[in-house]
A and B are shown apart, each in its own frame.
Chain A
């Protein structure tokens, strides 16, 4: 850093930082605030900010009508399951591509990414028919597999980028010092790759948690996760904004808390890569 950070400069950047942060967070804050209003208060113009009669009635109504824990449990199983399964496949794949690249590696990576370019609805009917024929409609296993496949290109790409930054020389040095393959992987490679794997894991759990196309289309009553729980409170005929906000708050709460706790890991993984 050649420029000195004067107090004014610092204050300015803090202010800008806070402003951007608040703007980004505002929709979530507004959802949370609305969830504590009555339905009439929720649609009043001009909208009330903090000075309204705070009420828990929406949370009670939502709790009474829906089985939140069933949906939350489905969300956890589907997001964690699909990410774990994805990592099992992606780690070896990315490892191979990063450390033993061939002249086709770049093409393969591009081809994998190209599967993300098709709008999901384009393959809805074939996937629905396969799920129907295999008898896995409205089961968690179908969603675990489908979401794993949807997110696999991202997982592979992220891991590939991290692994690529680990210098092959370090591994070679370990080998020169007489490390076995197991030692090489567990003691040398793994510690360096952990931040990358961890941030990939976290990001993909979040992606899978928020996925709302397949989770709505392949489920009915039994495997429906929190996305379906929110969708059941949206209505084109009737104002249920406060209840919808309460349902949304309940749906994002677990992932928000998880995000908070793992913030450091996420930011580090996303910004620095595997090796500084």
Chain B
């Protein structure tokens, strides 16, 4: 008997607990979801400037690691959970979400100067002439190399190198006995990991993900050439265990003097040239991502942007915040507090025309050229039906990209041959696309 009574009591308690809701947020508290990158953390520190100018609006931050954040905000926006008022999203999400009606159209104040935003970045955030997210910082990829090692070997890095030159130099500079590797490239599987690098590099070899009828193209000779080139180069001149290296692993290798070259995000330039973080800070040079003489370079284009989910009820306040965080005045605020070298790069033309910025950031010109060299609407040599340089802006791409990345990572690790990896990639992409109704 006692047992039964206890059970009932517990059940009652449980129901009571479930019914008790405690969400009593004040009307003007903005919840902002963001990633843990240096520029975002700096923004959190500077928000006093915003709250002082906008009394009545308070800010609450949710900072998460990129993949966790993506899962989190996607769940929220897809179910209209309404937990966030401002979301940090990438250029991959914006066109897809805008099309689904998940994002509010942004209307910026007159002094915001939308035309000052870099065209290649702005284009990716605009659908039907309407802006759906504002760029907070933008990045492309480029070659970072050790000027001291190049000089010692009698090599001269051109501003716009070819893949042949890069491969040749990498093999010459490799000295495996002394743990010096000619080139460090991403190998860790993932659509935003090795596939970001490989899809962008493939563009410069004339390869593409899909033809105009959405047929997968991994059986093309161009993909074979790209992957063979990559695997051979990494076997000859790459670090051991490269198939598990991502951005951070390569950054650590480069900063500790183990790589002669590294092709990765332009945002890394400020890390490797900062003497507090890098042992090779005083001997780093920059060059555009390599090409193959086909008119396309192997660099990507990415921007972290701020958007407002359709489920937010505080649109006006959220717009004020976004206008503040992506404005020209914000760049000056960062410069004032942290120096020009720490200003979030890659969003505004005026920043690159600013002599103070050019002086403080030796990588500024190369970053701008890299961003301008990428064209998300015409990413590769042939015409393609999709938008995106290192990704294909369709919802299915995350899954397909990661599965293909696993095949290519296995080829790099020597578990399967290049031909097998490409055949598997072709089969799985065809299957997924068919399933998705293309």
CB contact between B79 and one of A129, A181, A222 (< 8 Å): that residue: A129
The total of chain B residues at the interface (CB under 8 A) is: 58
Q: A139-B21, A141-B20, A216-B68 are in contact. Are A239 and B251 (CB under 8 A)?
A: yes
- Is A140 among interface residues, defined by CB-CB distance under 8 A? yes
Query: Shortest CB–CB separation between residue A168 and chain B, in angstroms?
Result: 15
B contact residues around A140 at 8 Å (CB): 22
Partner-contacting stretch, out of A36-44, A111-119, A201-209, A267-275: A36-44
- Is A171 among interface residues, defined by CB-CB distance under 8 A? no
Q: Is the CB of A138 within 8 A of B23?
A: yes
Q: A237-B265, A239-B248 are in contact. Are A43 and B36 (CB under 8 A)?
A: no
Q: Is the CB of B64 within 8 A of A236?
A: no
A contact residues around B45 at 8 Å (CB): 65
Q: Is the CB of A92 within 8 A of B6?
A: yes
Query: Shortest CB–CB separation between residue B285 and chain A, in angstroms?
Result: 21
- Is B38 among interface residues, defined by CB-CB distance under 8 A? yes
From A93, A135, A239, name the one whose CB has the most chain B CB atoms within 10 angstroms. A239
Q: A89-B10, A217-B75 are in contact. Are A137 and B18 (CB under 8 A)?
A: no
- Assembled-state Cα–Cα distance A233/B69 (Å): 12
Q: Is the CB of A221 within 8 A of B6?
A: no
Partner-contacting stretch, out of A15-23, A27-35, A224-232: A224-232
- Assembled-state Cα–Cα distance A224/B72 (Å): 13
Question: Chain A interface mostly helix, strand, loop or mixed?
Answer: helix
Q: Is the CB of A232 within 8 A of B72?
A: no
Query: Shortest CB–CB separation between residue A265 and chain B, in angstroms?
Result: 25
Q: Is the CB of A96 within 8 A of B23?
A: no
- Is A68 among interface residues, defined by CB-CB distance under 8 A? no
- Is B271 among interface residues, defined by CB-CB distance under 8 A? yes
Q: Give per-residue flags for B5-47: 1 if the beta carbon is below 8 A from chain A beta carbons, else 0.
A: 0110010011001111111000000010101111001001100
Partner-contacting stretch, out of B55-63, B225-233, B345-353: B55-63
Query: Shortest CB–CB separation between residue B79 and chain A, in angstroms?
Result: 6
B contact residues around A45 at 8 Å (CB): 252, 256, 258
CB neighbors of B among A97-122 (8 A): none
Q: What number of A-B contacts does a CB cutoff of 8 Å give?
A: 139
Query: Shortest CB–CB separation between residue B240 and chain A, in angstroms?
Result: 12
- Is B436 among interface residues, defined by CB-CB distance under 8 A? no
Query: Shortest CB–CB separation between residue A139 and chain B, in angstroms?
Result: 5
B contact residues around A216 at 8 Å (CB): 64, 68, 72
CB contact between B17 and one of A65, A124, A141, A240 (< 8 Å): that residue: A141
Q: Is the CB of B37 within 8 A of A43?
A: no
Closest to B1 in A: A181
CB contact between B31 and one of A40, A134, A185, A220 (< 8 Å): that residue: A220
- Is B277 among interface residues, defined by CB-CB distance under 8 A? yes
Q: Is the CB of A85 within 8 A of B14?
A: yes
- Is B81 among interface residues, defined by CB-CB distance under 8 A? yes
- Is B354 among interface residues, defined by CB-CB distance under 8 A? no
Query: Shortest CB–CB separation between residue B93 and chain A, in angstroms?
Result: 16
Q: Is the CB of B38 within 8 A of A236?
A: no
Q: Which 6 A-B pairs have the closest CB atoms?
A: A232-B63, A234-B65, A43-B252, A235-B36, A221-B60, A220-B83
Q: Taking beta carbons and an 8 Å cutoff, which residues of A are in contact with B?
A: 39-40, 43-45, 65, 85, 88-89, 92-93, 95-96, 124-125, 128-129, 132, 134-141, 144-145, 181, 185, 216-217, 220-222, 224, 228, 231-240
Q: Taking beta carbons and an 8 Å cutoff, which residues of B are in contact with A?
A: 2-3, 6-7, 10, 13-14, 17-23, 31, 33, 35-38, 41, 44-45, 60-68, 71-72, 75, 79-84, 192, 246-248, 251-252, 255-256, 258, 265, 267-268, 271, 276-279
- 20 new A-B contacts, CB < 8 A, other than A43-B256, A89-B10, are A39-B277, A43-B252, A44-B256, A89-B14, A92-B3, A92-B10, A128-B79, A134-B21, A141-B22, A144-B17, A217-B71, A221-B31, A221-B61, A232-B65, A235-B36, A237-B248, A238-B38, A238-B271, A239-B252, A239-B255
